[in-house]
Structure 1
Amino acid sequence: MSLKVGFCSVLGEEMLEKLKSKNISKIAEFICKDPEDIAQLTGIQYKDIVCIRNVILAKYSSITVNGSEFYNSVVQSTTILTTGIKRLDNVLDGGLYTGEVTEMAGDVAAGKTQVLFSVCAATAKQANQTVVYIDTGAVFSASRVLQMIPNNSSIKEDILSRIHVYDAFTIHDVFGVLDSIEGSIQAASDPFYSKLKLVIVDNIASVVYPFLGGSSFSESQGLLSLLGQKLKSLAVEYSVAVMITNNVVKGDQGTRTASLGRLWSHIPHVRMIVTHTDQYGGSTRNVTVVKNSRGGCSVCGELNIGDNGPIT
């Protein structure tokens, strides 16, 4: 950003020209130099240099935060949600963290949605926790979610009331649901949203693929970036965990990697790849953490996804 006349009461046209003559035309260039050096270089009075500097710092500097207070606020606002699958919790350092976006990528029929059903059930089992499930493929199954709950559970009948399902078949539908969630949280009139701890988007790729590779590359990339930032903002500002599923593609040297390219790769805080243990399918999957902003990667665990009952 460039220095301009009127930026500060003492910064006039003559002073600006003196600064420019010494190659100091941008705010960054001005703030990086010592005020005494600028005064000697330009002949501008030291007190005027300090005045301009103070205005810049007041307008653009970040507010300082006490480290101990910041740590305590993070601890108080962070909740670790169990996935309902012990092996997966171990891979994820305890489960899903509020304030983060967790992505699970895999081939079609790799079991991603089944894991989401387990996460839904495990979160909704808690009386003070609710879930929003954004369904882009009309795959949500209430009966399958209930299968994830032990038959002797006394709260089984209340589980579905703690899960709101929204159909969203285009990226604009997804934006609409996310805006609605944010508005409901801010309004604080619905107790469901005051207890919201988890937002799920299944499957993110299905609403993104249709507009990728179109005639306007910049527009499609802008929409993708905006969607990612919207999910991260929702997670951080309202202390909810966001979990999304994605497809996989072949990356460098034939390795399996999450789709949507490098721009999207910066969105998830945690990314997992789910694969079948053998080429003929079966009920066992491998889960590998390939990105984790909090801990180690390449941690593998096996999941057994059967036709009925909880995932083990």
Structure 2
Amino acid sequence: MGLLKSMEDEYPLIDSIFQEFCGSRGIFTVEDFLIHDLNALISFAEKQPYSERLIQGIDQLLSVVNGLHKPWLNGVELLKDAQQNKHTFAVAFEEDDPILYGAFREGFITELVGQSCSGKTQVCLLAAASVAKGYAGCVVFIDSGNSFSAQRIAHFVNQDSSFAPKQGNIEALDVIMMKILCYSAFDIFSLFDVLHQLEMKLKNQICSVRLLIVDSFSSLIIPLLGGNGPYSHALMISAASLLKKIAHEYHVCVLVTNHMVAGEGGTSKPALGESWKSIPHVRLLLSRDRESNTISVIRHPSMAAGTQVKFRISNS
């Protein structure tokens, strides 16, 4: 996605009149358009001399976003990229085997789905601790619901037997904690701001990010899905495309959380609908009983659906 001017030849409604109209609102790129308040933009368009044509231009631009796709890559390029750049992170509770080895991989979007209190945030915090402690580069944690806990991350770090309390570990813990960057985002527009800033830093090699966490992605999208139709859908797809771009081009593991909603027949299903479910490379369902937590595979490129791993979350 780029400048609106570059789209003029292919899309006749995105002409000089439409571009001038958008420019008066500070909109010069597709990204600018998507993070703008659509209702305010339509209201402003209705007051202009060419209101009907401007609104048609808005609809066409939304259709363009919905039809975005990435160019094809051949198998040799994909294999070479996977071998050289897409490393897998080991994430484990209390020295158990890694949780579903291969689920946390650079270039992947991994989605954690589950009911409230199923352990989604705990897995995010554990992943942040594991990557910050064991790998070069930093972790970016985008917090949409005041779920980030530095104390919990420190607990996971200190849980490692190789990190038992001893002289110098206080300083080492500080180094690890400094590699974890937390940002608050309480609506989709704040998320876009953080992601665009992050992409710019990665592009200019200002920072090296190994893991990007959005907890919770669904809570930022759901408020939009009530009555905005194509606009909210376009925002979700645009955010998904940006996450995929960051994951693939900059070799970042992206971890997002999603909640459950009521489905047919009283069953529960992941929120965000059919358009979203094809976005993550890995989808994991978290559940909890009195004794343990369970991760079940919904989708995984190298693991059968239904595969389960049990684990415990220490409260100490």
1:14-25 equivalences under 5 Å are none
Q: Give the corresponding residue for 2:176.
A: 159
The answer on 1:89 being equivalent to 2:101 is no
Task: State which of 158, 176, 185 in structure 1 corresponds to 2:202.
Answer: 185
**Contact 1:88-1:95 within 8 A present in 2 as well:** no
Mapped partners of 2:136, 2:106: distance in 1: 14
Mapped partners of 1:212, 1:84: distance in 2: 35
Q: Give the corresponding residue for 2:190.
A: 173
The answer on 1:300 being equivalent to 2:308 is yes
Which region of structure 1 is more displaced relative to structure 2, 258-267 or 124-133? 124-133
**Stretches of structure 1 lacking an aligned partner (at least 5 in a row):** 1-61
1:235-254 equivalences under 5 Å are 235-254=247-266
The answer on 1:265 being equivalent to 2:262 is no
Q: Give the corresponding residue for 1:231.
A: 243
Q: Give the corresponding residue for 1:36.
A: none
**Following TM superposition, by how much is the alpha carbon of 1:95 offset from its aligned partner in structure 2, in angstroms?**
4.2
Give identity over the alignment, percent.
30
Mapped partners of 1:230, 1:201: distance in 2: 13
Mapped partners of 2:230, 2:88: distance in 1: 37
SS in structure 1 opposite 2:292?
A: strand
Q: Given the superposition, is the C-alpha separation of residues 117 and 63 from structure 1 closer, same or farther in structure 2, using an over 3 Å criterion?
A: closer
| 1:209 maps to amino acid | I
Mapped partners of 2:116, 2:140: distance in 1: 23
Tell me how large the CA RMSD over aligned residues is. Answer: 2.1
Mapped partners of 1:63, 1:149: distance in 2: 41
Greater Rg by CA: 1
**Following TM superposition, by how much is the alpha carbon of 1:208 offset from its aligned partner in structure 2, in angstroms?**
1.0
String of CA shifts for 1:268-312, please: whole Å, max 9, x gaps. Answer: 1111111122xxxx351121111113332111111212312xxxx
Task: State which of 112, 115, 118 in structure 2 corresponds to 1:110.
Answer: 118
1:41-80 equivalences under 5 Å are 67-68=75-76, 70-80=78-88
**Following TM superposition, by how much is the alpha carbon of 1:199 offset from its aligned partner in structure 2, in angstroms?**
0.2
Which region of structure 1 is more displaced relative to structure 2, 150-159 or 115-124? 150-159
Mapped partners of 2:222, 2:109: distance in 1: 20
1:205-216 equivalences under 5 Å are 205-214=218-227, 216=228
String of CA shifts for 1:203-241, please: whole Å, max 9, x gaps. Answer: 112111211112x31111111111111111111111100
Which aligned segments of 4 or more residues in structure 1 are displaced greater than 2 angstroms? 62-65, 67-74, 84-91, 250-257
String of CA shifts for 1:160-186, please: whole Å, max 9, x gaps. Answer: 110000000000000111101100011
**Following TM superposition, by how much is the alpha carbon of 1:74 offset from its aligned partner in structure 2, in angstroms?**
2.3
Mapped partners of 1:237, 1:266: distance in 2: 19
Task: State which of 90, 115, 128 in structure 1 corresponds to 2:136.
Answer: 128
| 1:210 maps to amino acid | P
Q: Given the superposition, is the C-alpha separation of residues 75 and 64 from structure 1 closer, same or farther in structure 2, using an over 3 Å criterion?
A: closer
Mapped partners of 2:233, 2:196: distance in 1: 20
Q: Give the corresponding residue for 1:286.
A: 294
Mapped partners of 1:107, 1:161: distance in 2: 31
Normalising by structure 2, we get a TM-score of: 0.69
Q: Give the corresponding residue for 1:276.
A: 288
**Following TM superposition, by how much is the alpha carbon of 1:80 offset from its aligned partner in structure 2, in angstroms?**
0.4
**Following TM superposition, by how much is the alpha carbon of 1:121 offset from its aligned partner in structure 2, in angstroms?**
0.4
Q: Given the superposition, is the C-alpha separation of residues 105 and 231 from structure 1 closer, same or farther in structure 2, using an over 3 Å criterion?
A: same
Greater strand percent: which structure? 1
Q: Given the superposition, is the C-alpha separation of residues 220 and 284 from structure 1 closer, same or farther in structure 2, using an over 3 Å criterion?
A: same
**Contact 1:106-1:246 within 8 A present in 2 as well:** yes
Mapped partners of 1:88, 1:137: distance in 2: 30
| 2:178 maps to amino acid | S
Mapped partners of 1:276, 1:239: distance in 2: 32
* Matched residue count: 236
Normalising by structure 1, we get a TM-score of: 0.70
The answer on 1:138 being equivalent to 2:146 is yes
| 2:192 maps to amino acid | F
